[in-house]
Structure 1
Amino acid sequence: MSNPILSWRRVRALCVKETRQIVRDPSSWLIAVVIPLLLLFIFGYGINLDSSKLRVGILLEQRSEAALDFTHTMTGSPYIDATISDNRQELIAKMQ
């Protein structure tokens, strides 16, 4: 390994230098540790992306086996409140 561009001694020396610089500089601690932890708590506890009930309208234009299987799957989910109709205007009225 006589490649002067990527020498493990140089990489190690660079890592040691950067570590010493981060330890000495308080703003580096803020950027490297405090801000990511703060963002972790904000996104972990402050934002709830779980939807309890998602309202979905399903328009059955044809009663094929695949369409009925799809509607059965949607109505069986605890997270989806499916409204099923074969009339578009009726479905729009039910969903409003």
Structure 2
Amino acid sequence: MDEPTWAALQRLLTLAKSDTHQARRVANFILAWWNAESLGGFDITDLFAVDPRIATDMTTVFSWLARQSNATYPTEHRAEIEAIIAQWRPEVWARSSQPA
């Protein structure tokens, strides 16, 4: 991942762990990337509901993803993303934390 994309992702992860309407939209974006089937998709109109700087960070990450030849996931941020799942999708997190 190039430096501008890495920096954008870091800002988005930090924001997604806060508790605002913009944070919820950023979390939706990140979680749709992580696993849209189980964590929900991303409504593209949410770009209209975030500050321009945040929308730019989201489009930076999206544009970088679009240039990858294979599916790429932010696995190095697994712990942060799991915290975002626990915060924004507690029902999913509860199911995934139960013994099989």
TM-score by length of 1: 0.23
TM-score by length of 2: 0.22
Q: Which has the larger radius of gyration?
A: 1
Q: Which protein has the bigger strand share?
A: 1
Q: Which protein has the bigger helix share?
A: 2
Q: Which one has more relative contact order, counting CA pairs under 8 Å at least 6 apart?
A: 2
